[in-house]
Amino acid sequence: MQMRRLGKDGPQVSAMGLGCMGISDAYGTRDEQEALATLHRAIDLGINFLDTADVYGQGHNEQFVGRAIRTRRDRVCLATKFGLLRDAQGRLTGVCGTPAYVRSACEASLRRLGIDTIDLYYQHRLDRTTPIEQTVEALAALVREGKIRHIGLSEVDAETLHRAAAIHPIAAVQSEYSLWTRDPEDEILPACRELGVGFVPFSPLGRGFLSGRVNSMSDLPPEDFRQRLPRFQGDNFERNRAWVSQLEALAAQKGCTPSQLALAWVLAQGEDIVPIPGTKRRAYLQENLGALEIRWEAEELAALEQVAPRGVAAGARYPEALLQITR
């Protein structure tokens, strides 16, 4: 397995990680037997970087991942997140980064995971009512106590990252990044490189759209989170499907799948980048890993850029109501 380091002094992890959210949340029904087999297969294949969060399945995901790795803890760099709040019905209601909440959330995650130390602990979204310095100071205290090893931030801007890094080293920033979401190139990715912070793209396959497997909304279960995302709806869907069809043609020329093409593009953006495509199926896991073997010629990247230039995606990443909570 190819390895990459997150940050100047952060953990060394597999060049591709595994996002675990879909096991418990957002993407249709659960199949715990297949999900467990997928997690174990990932570890067997050398993927040591697993990503979860307390909010996924309202704690179920951490419990599931914790049970899955219990006898293999020494082979896993485990990342989890705190800060998003949900009500009893699972609806997002806000963000919290107060020092007291940081500590209580960490202790709750440790209990659910069944471990003594979290390898990489992210603030899931920025709490704009709590100065980032206070949040990071609380996280730094957890580092000193041995409850977490490294600090991460998710979906923050460059100014916030600089302020956080002035308090304690930040190992990684996690943000959505893919052929159809390239906003991090403006500020946060350059800031990460200036400060020596690793970058972890989530949804590097555009929540599955870039795989070419979503041909109509009927391909998704009614309860699937993507049913509510603007890029999957109406005219936006049709416009996005049109350019993804061109992506499929490029993949065929390259002798790979669209998923492998899209992941290989993300991997080619820098050795400091570690994408975490999510899957709960062994077949897709194996397919995704094939991206690590793809090598690019300059003209191939130029052709890909022509098909999927910056701003190619039609529609916003999230519904406005969700952005009001998490932006």
- Assign 91 a pLDDT band (cuts: 50, 70, 90): confident
The residue annotated as part of the active site, out of 56, 121, 122, 177, is 56
Measured CA to CA, the distance from residue 44 to residue 36 in angstroms comes to 12
CA distance from start to end of the chain: 36
CATH topology for 3-208+269-294 is: TIM Barrel (3.20.20)
Task: Note the pLDDT of residue 326.
Answer: 66
Tell me what percent of the residues of the chain surpass a pLDDT of 70. Answer: 99
| pTM of the complete model | 0.95
Mean pLDDT of 8-25: 93
**Does position 96 have pLDDT exceeding 90, yes or no?**
yes
Is 121 one of the catalytic residues? no
- Assign 222 a pLDDT band (cuts: 50, 70, 90): confident
Model pLDDT for residues 243-267, shown as the tens digit of each residue = 999 999 999 999 999 999 999 999 9
**Quick one: angle between helices 32-44 and 60-69, nearest 10?**
50
- Assign 162 a pLDDT band (cuts: 50, 70, 90): very high
Q: Is 282 exposed, middle or buried (0-12, 13-18, 19+ CB in 10 A)?
A: middle
Model pLDDT for residues 166-215, shown as the tens digit of each residue = 999 999 999 999 999 999 999 999 999 999 999 999 999 999 999 999 99
- Tell me how far the alpha carbon of residue 233 is from its chain's centroid: 22
Task: Note the pLDDT of residue 321.
Answer: 78
Which residue has 């963000």 as its token pair? Answer: 95
Measured CA to CA, the distance from residue 281 to residue 18 in angstroms comes to 11
**Does position 320 have pLDDT exceeding 90, yes or no?**
no
**Which sign does the torsion angle of CA 70, 20, 189, 286 carry?**
positive
